[in-house]
Structures are given as C-alpha cells and as structure tokens.
Structure 1
Amino acid sequence: MRAPIGHFDDARPAPDCLDILVAPVADAVRAWQGSVPAEQLIHVDTEPEWADTATFVEHYGPELLATSANCVVVAGKRGGETTLAACVVLSAARVDVNGTVRRRLGARKASFAPMDTATGATGMEYGGITPIGLPADWPLLVDSAVVDLPYVLVGSGRRRGKLILPGKALAELPGAVVVEGLGQG
C-alpha cells in the first residue's frame, strides 16, 4: 500500500497493525466509528531517531511539514482542581496554552502537562502521543486548520510509527471540539 502523503516504505491500514500499536490506540482502532472507515487510518513505520520535525520531513518528504500535526497534553488548573486535555495543532504552529486553551478549559492557569503525567495518563510514549485513544472524558481541542486537511500525519502512540488519516476524522473523536486559532505561528 502507498501512503496518501509522504514517502514511506511500510504503510498499512491501522486495523492490520493492532499488534504494534499501544493498547489505548489499538482499542480505539478496534472500536472505530464515524464517517471515515477504520481502513482509512494508515499506519506508517518510521525511525524513532528521525522523530523531530526537521529530520522527519528531510527523510519522509517535505510536504509533511504542512500536513503533520502534534498532539500535546495540557493541564488546566482552577480552585485546586486539575483538568487534563489534549490539543492538536499543525506541527509548524504553537498551541495557545495561556489564551485559547485556558479559556476553553475554564482554568485560571494552563500549562503543558509534565512528561510523566502525559505518558502515564495516556498510556502512550512521549513524542508519539496521538489524539486517537485518549481518555474519552478528556477535552480534545483540534485546530480547524488540522481538520481542513485532506490527510494529516499524527503520532501513533509510540515514537516509532505514525498514523495518517483524513483531517475531518479528528473532529469526530470522543471529546473533540474544533477550535479556530488554537495554533499560532
């Protein structure tokens, strides 16, 4: 199979890769619902040491800079309560944590969650966190620019491997809210 974006030697439908996905991502692929069939979620094998954006696009195709997105875990705090959420923005953008995210979460303060918190709460590897398979009760803020992409590359839950899927599929994930201007830059 050929991936719809990028230059990858190994591209397969995610339902055929359940054994290499982390448990929460595999479970989400197994239970996949929505307008995009699960077979349109494509797993591509990638080298973990090439995970940083500049190196990644050098090896897998320059068009990926405009078609890849990062998923980051944020913590919003208000009155002693902490709410974890995930944000998905284009890789070339920064998440507006102190503005848009803080307001959306109704938090007094918002910041990126510590690595141990992000990996422990998601069951995913740092540098590979994906919006697919996150805890269902989490808010999932997705920048509208990501949803508008015909195909977007996101993490797979591991540093090795990525998922490619239609951007509109991210808007249908549990807890998803499409936000205009979530990413800056």
Structure 2
Amino acid sequence: MDAKLREYRAKRRRQELIDEAKSKVKNFFAAGVKEKDESDMDPALSAHEREPMLSAAAPSASFPSGQRNVVLMSDDEAWEAEEDESSTEGLLSKRIRRTTTAILALLWLTLLLISHQLGLALAFCVISAIVFIFLCTKTTPRKPGEPSAYSVFNPNCESIDGTLKAEQFEREIRYGPGGVH
C-alpha cells in the first residue's frame, strides 16, 4: 500500500512539474496576452453563473435567430477599446520579437557548436561580434526633433543628457564631484 502511495505521489509530482514547465513556456511566448476563459473565473461559481460572464467576454456572441448582439458605446468607451486593441497589437509584435530572438539564439548556438567541431569557434565568435556590433548600430535617419549624439549638429550646440563636457570635467577637478550641479 505504501509503495502504491509513493508511486502515485511521484507520478502526480512529475505531472505537476510537466504542467508547470508547459505553462512557463506558454507564458514566455504569450508575452502577457491573456484571454478570459472558464479557468480564470472563481471556482465557487456554478455553471449557470459562469455562462453570462463567458458570453460577455465573447464579442461575437450570436442570438439563436442569427442576429448579432450590438452594443452602442460612448466616445470614451470607444477610445478605450481602441487603445486596448493597439496594446494587443503591441503585445503580439512583442511575442513575435521574442520568438524570433529565441530562434536566432538557437541558430547561433547551433552554428557555434558546428564551428567548434570544425575548430573555428574563435573565428566564429569574432565574426559574430563584428556582425552584432554592425546590426546594433543605428543606421536609420533621426526623427524630426530628435537630438544628435554630437552636440555640434544640435540647435544651439546643446548636448544630450549624460554627456561629459569639458566645463563639467573642469568643475569636478577644481571643486570635487559635489561642486557639479
């Protein structure tokens, strides 16, 4: 009896670990997109109480006669719905970016292992670093009003935040770091 109980507990624990791993992978790729379904609702609610909540969550609910449920919204509600829709699109693009990054990382790791087998791992890492630096540098033109990193190209030669200027360096040398505002 004890052996069966231990076996059952071990099997149940393995299943919980598998379910937990699946949910982590699903959440990683979901990137915050969450749909309302029965699992999100209070388990104390009966099936009769859940039905109106589910039909309210489904925007395409139809009546038996085939007519669609039309709800008129105020301008504020329409604006909020539009913002929610755009944030959903942002989450979708975030999910696509995450997936693409994961695939590219796996591809890079695979190519690294292949180059290691060929004895070219160091060369592969150097070339990868050069490509990474090239791809991460901004090659698109600046947006209108966006300051340049080089202050001579900005109106009134204004520098961007975080720039160490000669005047600031001189004040730090003369009066110490506390003398700089």
Fold shared, TM-score > 0.5 on shorter chain: no
Relative to its length, the structure with more strand (as a share) is: 1
TM-score, normalization: structure 2?
0.17
Q: Could you tell me the TM-score, scaled by structure 1's length?
A: 0.17
Q: Point out the structure with max Rg over C-alpha.
A: 2
Q: Which has the higher helix share?
A: 2
Higher relative contact order (CA 8 A, sep 6+): 1
